[in-house]
Amino acid sequence: MSKYHLPPLDLLHSFEAVARHRSFTLAARELCLTQSAVSRQIRSLEDRLGLRLFRRLHRAIDLTAEGQRLFESVTRGLDDLSACLAALGAVTKAPQITVSASVAFAWFWLMPRLQLFGALQPEVDLRVLATDQPVLPGTGDVDVAILFGSGQWEGLEARLLFGERVYPVCSPAYLHNHPALHRPEDLLDQTLLHLEYGKLSFGGVDWRSWLLRQGVNGQPVRRGLRFNSYPMVLQAAEAGHGVALGWSYVTDPLLAEGRLVRPVDRILEPRDGYYLCTSADAVQSPGITAFLDWIKVEAAVRDGPRMTQENATHAE
């Protein structure tokens, strides 16, 4: 014998929708049923209970006293059931985290390594937000941000991933066609590839600041090419269109593969570095902790130079 003497739950569900909307038409639209089907369900419920639940008015309906009492009870029950199911879903749902990074960092450094993270943490649902307008943790759904800067951001906890070296790069074919390119001052007579973007992502290092740091004060003779995306800058460099500034976390592997070469043996080490940032107030989930632990290990074993707080060579 059943413990609960209840009418079918689909009848109660339809009753709640009609009572809430005070309309058979709107309830039918919400339930994806015809108006006549909803009317039959309400009549069936009233027959089972032996009560009138609605007063049919001219072009309107209203709840009877019994209908109002049932409506309040059904609403409480459905609300409790919905909250319970949502809580159970939150427990069983795969952990999801959103990581923001610059387009260049996401494309060249993070994306090639994501397969490794997925193999180690297959249950984590990772979303990467690639944008050159920095999005800070705690903004929207972002849990972790990889930012280039001093490491001082209000309200954020920042852990240094690695520092940076900046040096000229070009294609082997371009260097072959410009054999006189050896010294920093020789760059003034080359086609320079510019990234037209502010200091938030790349610390303000551009051709002018790089050349000044090498003691070169002149102006380029040739008209350069300008891009608003670093992947486009490197694509132009590989295609032999000119000389670009290479950031070592991106271009060191391209040098190792022979896709790019260094025509001038000079570097600039910016004061800033790449930081792994989380909100200081946020409670870190297991998925976030797993990602933070993984990316710190990846940064520690990456090819190329490493920078720590103690031994970094700073640029002015």
Q: Of 92, 126, 152, at which residue does a domain stop?
A: 92
Average pLDDT of span 91-104: 77
Residue 162, helix vs strand vs coil: strand
**223-239 per-position pLDDT tens digit:** 899 998 888 999 999 99
The predicted pLDDT at position 54 comes to 92
The predicted pLDDT at position 102 comes to 87
> Which comes out higher in pLDDT, residue 201 or 246?
246
Q: Look at residue 46 and tell me whether its pLDDT is greater than 80.
A: yes
For residue 37, what is the domain's CATH number? 1.10.10.10
Beta partners for 149?
A: 273
For residue 118, what is the domain's CATH number? 3.40.190.10
The predicted pLDDT at position 89 comes to 60
Q: Is residue 54 part of a domain?
A: yes
Read off the pLDDT band of 261 (50, 70, 90). Answer: very high
CA distance 251 to 164: 11
pTM for this entry: 0.60
**Which residue segment(s) compose the domain that 143 sits in?**
96-164+272-301
Q: Is residue 311 part of a domain?
A: no
Q: Is residue 63 part of a domain?
A: yes
CA distance 264 to 258: 16
Please give the mean pLDDT across all residues of the chain.
85
Q: Look at residue 259 and tell me whether its pLDDT is greater than 60.
A: yes
- The reply to whether 155 and 276 lie within a common domain is yes
**Poorest-pLDDT segment among 120-134, 187-201, 238-252, 283-297:** 187-201
**25-44 per-position pLDDT tens digit:** 899 988 888 999 999 999 99
- The reply to whether 180 and 135 lie within a common domain is no
Q: Largest alpha-carbon pair distance within the chain?
A: 100
CA distance 84 to 32: 25
Q: Is residue 20 part of a domain?
A: yes
Q: Is residue 40 part of a domain?
A: yes
> Which comes out higher in pLDDT, residue 306 or 119?
119
